[in-house]
Amino acid sequence: MVDFNVIAQFFDELEKIPGKIDLAEKFKEFDLQLETEDSRIIVYLLQGILGPAFKTKELGVAEKLCLRALEKSSGVEEKVLEKELKKVGDLGLLTQKIMLKRKQTTLSFNSFSLKEVYDKLLKITELVGEGSQNSSISLLCELLSISTPVEGKHLMRFVSGVKRLGVGDGILLDGLRREHEVERKIVDRAYYLTSDLGRIALMLKQKKDLTKIKIEYFNPIMPALAERAEDVKEIFERLKECYGEVKYDGMRIQLHKKNGKVKLFSRHLEEVTNMFPEISEKASKIKNDFVVEGEAVGIDVETKQILPFQELMTRKRKNDIKEKTADLPVKFLTFDLLKLNEEDYIDKTFEERRNELVKLGFEVTQGRMLKSQKDIQTFFNESISNNNEGIMCKNLKSPYSPGSRGFHWIKLKQSYSEFSDTIDVIVMGYFLGKGKRTEFEFGGMLAGIKDSQGNVNSIAKIGSGFTEGEMEDLQAKLEELQTEVKPLNYNTSLKPDYWVKPKLVIEVKSDEMTYSKIHKACYNPETKTGIALRFPRMIAIRTDKTVDEATTEEEIKKIIKDKENVY
């Protein structure tokens, strides 16, 4: 079993690696020396998680708690630590610095193994309720008590949810492929079917055949993603005859049912069974075992119309789901069948899957065959006039492609053709409330978008569009993400009252885009201007999206190019 110190040294090495080095090779060389279980864990740690989302909670201890643990273990006062943190700019570096001082007086010869550290971190994620904060601090102190400064640095970063090592899934998949001499497409597929890269690393070490992997009940697969089209013409050119479906503005759900038991997973593979009891109830009445995918949409009790996504998400906020099922009923509109009894369906054509899905007994998404460009246009117009988001056109002959984006599913939303589109931005910080809003410690947010280097560049200050409920919700979320120091990859000339870690995505609408001397999105060094949203207002808190799914600079540039007249 490998010592955690060896891992921390490896992380340190990765961090110092200059730009172009082959990270996959580096990972391969390191992983070669590891035993099976250690290989599983190191893969998770490099992903910045402790396990897949459907099994393990995310670790993100608030900065304040980390500082309290550091105070307890080092004896340096929290206030001093806070001040020092502002100077050093990173909780990991601060921990290392403080521990280096301590190490001059106490030298420890013990150390934790990787597995021991991992188990303690897992314990932190499992703590709930009263006393959980104190228990987290104790566990952290225990870890820090016999850590070296380098171990302390990486532990603290990991615990507080900062990922800096730059080893993405693609690099890990590539490293594993090289180490075990397996084709990349086999490793990729195994990952998409299990959603568990640690498990794949373990299976490879155990010399198991990855091609034998099938979909397992209650282990969600990674969802297939759609490409976007500019217009109806592009859809017809790419697909010719296709099956068109209404694109609903709801929440994607992967439903697994076996032997009467039902589990629901979100698009990010988190279990959301408790959010929709009526969907489980309906599913349990249907014969057979199956894995289906569909969109959960909220229904207006009076008009029976589909409600916008943000209304549906209030279910996430409230604990009183029972009440909500009456006030805000939900419909589950299925659109794909991934497994039926013991047979995987993903390699069958869309046509076969849809035919079986219809027979199953769930309500299915509204759709029909589209044979010409005119057919597609008519279907699109109908969908929009019924207040839907747009359409999804699907290639009849293509299999289901887990985990990847492709042109077998093409989406067209109304908003691309007009600049009434909403964009998904990353919250970078927030401002304290003034006037009526002082009641909330929240008066608006600074938001940005990512560029190709992973920097977050500001694009708007958003001060409107939230209800009181949403403000409460935002305040709680933002407090958790608060950080004393501006993250190194943020570019903006504004200074919010608090910075937050890049985690939260919100959907905003604006009237147009303008050049800006303040904001840094799509920055042009010649004119020294960036792009800003004019009159931005929040439409929804997108807890279903990760920051990697927020709108990118590239997409904004494309919108600007298509609509030069927005200025």
What are the residues binding ligand AMP (CB under 6 A)?
226, 245-248, 252, 267, 295, 335, 365, 392, 411
The least distance separating ligand AMP from the CB of residue 25, rounded to whole angstroms, comes to 34
Q: What is the DSSP string of 19-39?
A: TTS-HHHHHHHHHHTS-HHHH
| Catalytic pick among 247, 324, 339, 461 | 247
Instruction: Give yes or no for a contact between 78 and 67, defined as CB atoms under 8 angstroms apart.
Output: yes
143 and 44 in contact (C-beta within 8 Å)? no
Nearest to 222 by CA among 251, 186, 262, 191: 191
Q: Shortest Cβ distance from residue 309 to ligand AMP (Å)? A: 10
Please give the Cα distance from 344 to 291 (Å, whole number).
9
How many whole angstroms separate alpha carbon 429 and alpha carbon 461? Answer: 10
Cα distance between residue 207 and residue 414, in whole Å: 49
d(C-alpha 245, C-alpha 333), whole Å: 11
* Pairing status of strand 405-413 against strand 225-228: parallel
Could you say which DSSP state residue 306 is in?
B
User: Rounded to the nearest whole angstrom, what is the least distance from the CB of residue 297 to ligand AMP in the complex?
Assistant: 9
Beta-sheet pairing, 482-483 with 498-500: antiparallel
**If we measure between CA atoms, which residue out of 162, 217, 221 comes closest to residue 11?**
162
| 215 versus 226: smaller Cβ distance to ligand AMP | 226
The least distance separating ligand AMP from the CB of residue 462, rounded to whole angstroms, comes to: 21
The residue (of 381 and 524) whose beta carbon lies closer to ligand AMP is 381
Minimum separation from the CB atom of position 406 to ligand AMP (A): 13
Contact 355, 413 (CB under 8 A): no
- Which one, 421 or 441, has the nearer CB to ligand AMP? 421
Distance CA 494, CA 70 (A): 31
Kindly tell me the sign of the dihedral angle through the C-alpha atoms of 93, 95, 96, 97: positive
Cβ count within 10 A of residue 557: 14
Nearest approach, Cβ of 360 to ligand AMP (angstroms)?
16
Residue facing ligand AMP at closest CB distance: 252
**Which helix or strand (DSSP H or E) is residue 323 part of?**
helix 321-327
For 57, which DSSP code? P
Query: In the annotation, is 247 catalytic?
Result: yes
Element (H, E) at 391: strand 390-394
Shortest Cβ 312–ligand AMP spacing (Å): 12
Pick the closest to residue 429 from 447, 403, 404, 408 (CA basis): 447
Work out how close the CB of 247 gets to ligand AMP at its nearest, in angstroms, rounded to a whole number.
4
Instruction: State the amino acid at position 559 in one-letter form.
Output: I
Phi then psi dihedrals of residue 323, to 5 deg: -60, -45
Query: In terms of CB distance, is 392 or 533 closer to ligand AMP?
Result: 392
Nearer to ligand AMP, 7 or 226 (CB): 226
Instruction: Please classify residue 142 by burial: count the beta carbons closer than 10 Å to its beta carbon, then call 0-12 exposed, 13-18 middle and 19+ buried.
Output: middle
Residue closer to ligand AMP (CB basis): 302 or 418: 418
| Non-local CB neighbours of 495 within 8 Å, separated by 6+ positions | none
Contact in structure between 304 and 268 (CB atoms under 8 Å): no
Q: Residue 112 or residue 265: which is nearer to ligand AMP going by CB?
A: 265
Q: 324, 318 in Cβ contact below 8 A?
A: yes
Nearer to ligand AMP, 213 or 292 (CB): 292
Q: What is the DSSP letter of 547?
A: G
Q: Which is nearer to ligand AMP, 334 or 483 (CB)?
A: 334
Q: Please state at what angle helix 169-180 crosses helix 197-205, rounded to 10 degrees.
A: 10
Residues ≥6 apart with Cβ < 8 Å to 29: none
391 vs 462, which CB is nearer to ligand AMP? 391
Please, what is the minimum distance in Å from the beta carbon of residue 300 to ligand AMP? 18
Q: What is the largest CA-CA distance in the chain?
A: 79
Catalytic residues: 247
